[in-house]
Amino acid sequence: MIKLSKRLKTIANYVNSNARIVDIGCDHALLDIYLVSNNPNIKAIAVDVKEGALSQARKNIVKYKVQEAIDLRLGDGLDVIEKSEINTVIISGLGCPKILEILTNNKDKLTNVDDLILQSNTDYFSLRKQVCALGYYIAAEELIKENNIIYVIINFKKGTKKYKSKDYLFGPFLRQERSKLYIELINYELQKKEILYLQIPRKYVLKRQKLRIEILKLKNELKRKS
């Protein structure tokens, strides 16, 4: 049985047992192998732009004998997908701008997509805000810590909900739960921004001002009584 990292296992938990998924940036395709091995009704398309990644994925797929359930494709994001093929999109381990580029470049391919399961390495504010602008709402969020890194995993579902700016910034569920890991994440972000602030020369007034506001928001979130 294939063993997944805690991060990938958490992502796998959000996938429906009869989903037709595309995993963009599949790399080794371990997530897809795990999903189809544990759920006979899941069909996966695993996409990567790098031939090297795909050849490793191919070897893994053969090793675990799941060739029937996983379709490997070389290409950029959703370019190599037909909209009728999928109802779930998984993108993990990429930066927010890249994830948004992949989704917005092929909006029409999302017509039948009910679930987006996203784990970005950066900028959750823009991710939440812009994915919601594509016609999704935040159905669930989870924090996990692995190898000393805190990851945010978000499951968006098709539909609309109204959010405050703070919900986009910190996550509506994460803010409400206010777990120890959440406080650790906010402290970490705060430290990062304070260090960055000290490194910006005084002549970049607007940049410093923008960062000051971000620092203040993080401080206020830490001080907030639940």
Question: Nearer Cβ to ligand SAM, position 52 or 201?
Answer: 52
Are 66 and 43 within 8 A, CB to CB?
no
Q: How far is the CB of 121 from ligand SAM (least distance, A)?
A: 8
Question: Nearer Cβ to ligand SAM, position 9 or 98?
Answer: 98
Question: Nearer Cβ to ligand SAM, position 150 or 196?
Answer: 150
Are 4 and 38 within 8 A, CB to CB?
no
Q: Are strands 149-158 and 115-120 parallel, antiparallel or unpaired?
A: antiparallel
What share of residues in the chain are helix, strand, coil (percent, to 5)? 50, 20, 30
Which residues between 26 and 85 bind ligand SAM (CB under 6 A)? 26-27, 47-50, 53, 76-77
Provide the 10 A C-beta neighbour count for residue 33: 24
Q: Which of 44, 61, 69, 94 binds ligand SAM (CB under 6 A)?
A: 94
What span, in angstroms and rounded, lies between the C-alpha atoms of 183 and 185?
5
**What residue is closest to ligand SAM based on CB?**
25
Question: Nearer Cβ to ligand SAM, position 146 or 194?
Answer: 146
Question: Nearer Cβ to ligand SAM, position 50 or 107?
Answer: 50
How many residues make contact with ligand SAM (CB under 6 A)? 16
| DSSP 8-state secondary structure symbol assigned to residue 105 | H
Q: E-strand spans in the chain?
A: 20-24, 43-48, 70-74, 88-94, 115-120, 136-146, 149-158
3 state SS of 185:
helix
Q: Taking CB under 6 A as the rule, does residue 114 contact ligand SAM?
A: no
Q: Which of 12, 21, 22, 24 binds ligand SAM (CB under 6 A)?
A: 24
Q: How far is the CB of 24 from ligand SAM (least distance, A)?
A: 5
Q: How far is the CB of 149 from ligand SAM (least distance, A)?
A: 12
Question: Nearer Cβ to ligand SAM, position 53 or 89?
Answer: 53
Are 152 and 200 within 8 A, CB to CB?
no
Q: Which of 39, 73, 93, 178 binds ligand SAM (CB under 6 A)?
A: 93
First-last CA distance in the chain: 42
Contact positions vs ligand SAM (CB under 6 A)? 24-27, 47-50, 53, 76-77, 92-94, 98, 102
